[in-house]
Every structure is written in C-alpha cells, then in structure tokens.
C-alpha cells in the first residue's frame, strides 16, 4: 500500500504514493488494477502513464459517486473516525506522523471482521488464508482497449 499526505493536491503527491505502493509490493508478478475516483490527479496523463509503465491497469468510477469506490471510502472513513484524522491538524509534519501511525495500526494491529478477525498485513502475507470477498462473481477481468 502507498499513501502520501501534504498541504496540496498535486499529481506528484499521488505519484509518490503510487511509487510507495509499487516499492512495497509483495507479489510483483500479479496483475494490478488501480481503481480511483475521477479526481484530476488520477486523470492526469503523467499519473496514468506512470501507472501503466509499471504494469498497472487504470480503472475509474463511472460517475462522481463515492459508492463506486466503496472500499477506499470505507478505509478513509475508518482512518478519519477511529484514528482522529478528521480533525483539523494545522501542522503538516504532525499530520504526516499521525497518518503514518494510523496506517500502520490499521494494517498491522487492527483486526477486521471481513478478514475473520485477522489483520490486513497477516492476510496479505499469507495467500492461503481465506477471507470474505465482496465481489459478486468470480470474474476474469480483461483489459479494455479503447
């Protein structure tokens, strides 16, 4: 996973987060799909070209509806409400430190009902662990060429 926090919304911020995610990959040979909303950072050709040059297929919501990106929205909600990230933190360095700590707790210490009370890092590192999938069907995704 990758994340980045700063006092701006530049595309470079998202690119740095994606670089972090690529660096942290445990299964580099598996295909990746990057699903996001239609924020200008994710639509920027520099960002999409960087992702695609790293073998990542881009996917975006059809409309500006948070339900179309429900998993990411749920994680954001958890980080905001359980770890205090919804509060106004005026110091960027402190906000970055709190975010780093919250993400670490979320991934390494917090158990999840959808993972049978396991931690995300534990499940991610052990592909033999079965967990609930909210995908309706076992669909093979093929790349769309437009």
- Do 45 and 79 fall into the same domain? no
- Among 43, 64, 85, residue at a domain's last position: 64
Q: Would you say the C-alpha torsion 130, 134, 136, 137 has a positive or negative sign?
A: negative
Domain boundary among 21, 36, 64: 64
pLDDT at 133 (0 to 100):
63
Domain, as residue range, for 123:
65-132
Which of the four pLDDT bands, split at 50, 70 and 90, describes residue 140? low
pLDDT at 144: 47
**Gap between the Cα atoms of 11 and 43, Å rounded:** 9
* Structural domain total, the chain: 2
Which tens digits make up the pLDDT trace of 56-112? Answer: 999 988 877 777 878 888 888 999 999 888 888 899 999 999 999 999 999 999 998
At residue 50, the pLDDT reads 96
Residue 37 binned pLDDT confidence (cut-offs 50, 70, 90)? confident
- What is this structure's pTM? 0.77
Q: Are residues 57 and 108 in the same domain?
A: no
Residue 122's CB: how many other CB atoms inside 10 A?
14
- Residues 71 and 45 both lie in one domain: no
Taking CB atoms within 8 Å and a gap of at least 24, the contacts of 15-21 are 15/46, 15/47, 15/50, 18/47, 18/50, 18/51, 18/54, 18/56
Backbone angles phi, psi at 35, to 5 degrees: -105, 130
The reply to whether 59 and 69 lie within a common domain is: no
Residues 4 and 55 occupy one common structural domain: yes
């Amino acid at each position: 996973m990758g994340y980045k926090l700063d006092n701006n919304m530049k595309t470079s911020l998202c690119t740095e987060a994606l670089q972090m995610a690529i660096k942290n990959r445990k299964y580099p040979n598996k295909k990746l799909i990057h699903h996001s909303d239609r924020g200008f950072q994710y639509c920027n050709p520099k960002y999409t070209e960087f992702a695609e040059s790293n073998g990542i297929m881009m996917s975006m919501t059809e409309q500006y509806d948070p339900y179309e990106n429900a998993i990411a929205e749920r994680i954001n909600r958890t980080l905001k409400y359980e770890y205090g990230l919804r509060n106004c933190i005026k110091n960027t360095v402190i906000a970055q430190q709190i975010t780093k700590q919250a993400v670490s707790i979320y991934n390494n210490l917090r158990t999840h009902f959808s993972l049978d009370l396991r931690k995300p890092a534990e499940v991610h590192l052990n592909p033999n662990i079965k967990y609930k999938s909210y995908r309706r069907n076992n669909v093979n995704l093929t790349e769309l060429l437009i």
